[in-house]
Amino acid sequence: MPIATINEIQLNYEVSGEGPLVVLIMGTGSPGRVWKLHQVPALVSAGFKVCIFDNRGIEPSSANFDVITIDELVADTAALIEHIRDTSTSRAFVVGTSLGARIAQELALARPDLVEKAVFLAGHARYDELQRTLVEGELENANRQMTMSPKYHAAVTAALNLSPTTLEDDSSARMRLDVFEYSLPNNSRGVLAQKRIAPDFDRRAAYRQIAAPCLSIGFADDRMIPSSSAAELARLIPGARYIEIPDAGHYGYLEQPDTVNIEMVNFLAN
C-alpha cells in the first residue's frame, strides 16, 4: 500500500480495480485491510475502483496523536478522494462502518461536492447510554493499564460483536474465538485517540441536511450500534433507505458478507 502526504499527514492507502471510485472507511482501531476479505473483491468484480486506507491513528498512517477529532478524519477522507479521483469534477461513492460510517455521514454533509452516494454500515446519529458507558469504560481500563486474560477478551469481543446465530455453531464460534484470543486489544496512542472522539455527540438535526442518496444498513443482532440507531439515521436523512441484515452483529460485513455486498453493490450501481 502506498503512503502519501494527505491533509498534511501520512496516509496509507491502496487502490484496486477500474471504474467509478468507491472509498471504504473502517471503524475504530481497525486497519483498512479488513475490507479486503470480502468487500473489495465484490466491488472490483462489480466494476468499481476501490480505495481502502488506514485512518489517522492506525499505523502505518500517522498515528502519533493524543487527540483526534471527527473533523480531522473527515478532512483526511476528503483530501484522499481529491488525491485519487480521476478528474477534479468527479465524485466518489463512500462506504463506512461504525466510526467509518460516522465519518462518511459527516463527509456527505460537509462535502456534498465529493459524495455521489453513501452507504452506512452500523451508522448512527448519536450514542445511547450503553454505548457511552462502554466507551468510557474501555478508556478507563486503558488509562489504568488494566488487561484481561486472552480467553476472556475473546469471549467479550465475540459477545459484543457477533450474532448469537454465529456463536451457536460450535465450529464457527471456535474459529472466531481463536482469532480474537490472539488479537489482543490495541491500546496504542492513536487508537486511544480514536476512542476518545466525542462520545456525547448528537447530530440528529444536522443529518436532515444531507442531500446525497444514502443507504443505512443495520445489523439485527448488533450490540455495539443497535439496529434501531441505524434505522433512526435513515429516518433523519431525506430519502434515505434502510435495510436490516438478520443473523448479524457489529461485524455483520464479515458474518453476512454476501448479503451486505449484494445490497451495497445494488445501491451503488443503480
Q: What is the predicted pLDDT for the residue at 17?
A: 97
In this structure, the number of other CB atoms found within 10 A of the CB of residue 140 comes to: 10
Q: What's CA 91's distance to the chain center, in Å?
A: 20
Residues 69, 191 within the same domain = yes
Reduce the DSSP state of residue 170 to 3 states and report it: helix
Residues 28, 145 within the same domain = no
Per residue in 97-123, pLDDT (tens digit) is 999 999 999 999 999 999 999 999 999
pLDDT band at residue 136 under the 50/70/90 scheme? confident
Backbone angles phi, psi at 174, to 5 degrees: -65, -40
Q: What is the predicted pLDDT for the residue at 145?
A: 73
Residues 90, 155 within the same domain = no
Domain count, the chain: 2
How many angstroms separate the CA atoms of 210 and 197, rounded? 22
Reduce the DSSP state of residue 251 to 3 states and report it: coil
**pLDDT: which is higher, 187 or 205:** 205
Q: What is the predicted pLDDT for the residue at 88?
A: 72
Per residue in 163-192, pLDDT (tens digit) is 999 999 999 899 999 998 888 777 889 999
Scanning the structure block, which residue is given the C-alpha cell 488487561? 147
Catalytic residues: 98, 222, 250
Which CATH number does the domain housing residue 209 bear? 3.40.50.1820
Residues 35, 149 within the same domain = no
pLDDT band at residue 134 under the 50/70/90 scheme? confident
Taking a C-beta distance cutoff of 8 angstroms, is the pair 254, 163 a contact?
no
Query: What is the full DSSP assignment across 207-219?
Result: GGG--S-EEEEEE
Length of the chain: 270
Q: What is the predicted pLDDT for the residue at 2?
A: 85
Question: Cα separations (Å) of 1 from 14, 15, 52, 54, 211?
Answer: 5, 8, 9, 10, 33
pLDDT band at residue 15 under the 50/70/90 scheme? very high
Q: What is the predicted pLDDT for the residue at 103?
A: 98
Residues 119, 224 within the same domain = yes
Residues 22, 108 within the same domain = yes
> What average pLDDT does this structure show over 215-244?
97
Residues 161, 214 within the same domain = no
Question: Cα separations (Å) of 203 from 26, 132, 136, 198?
Answer: 20, 15, 20, 12
Residues 163, 32 within the same domain = no
In this structure, the number of other CB atoms found within 10 A of the CB of residue 147 comes to: 13
Per residue in 144-159, pLDDT (tens digit) is 777 778 899 899 899 9
Return mean pLDDT, the chain. 94
Domain that holds residue 27: 3-128+187-269
Taking a C-beta distance cutoff of 8 angstroms, is the pair 227, 254 a contact?
no
Residues 97, 57 within the same domain = yes
How many angstroms separate the CA atoms of 39 and 86, rounded? 22
Per residue in 18-63, pLDDT (tens digit) is 999 999 999 999 999 999 999 999 999 999 999 999 999 999 999 9
Q: Which three cell numbers stand for residue 25?
A: 472507511
How many angstroms separate the CA atoms of 264 and 270, rounded? 10
The reported pTM is 0.95
In this structure, the number of other CB atoms found within 10 A of the CB of residue 1 comes to: 15
Residues 149, 258 within the same domain = no
Taking a C-beta distance cutoff of 8 angstroms, is the pair 83, 6 a contact?
yes
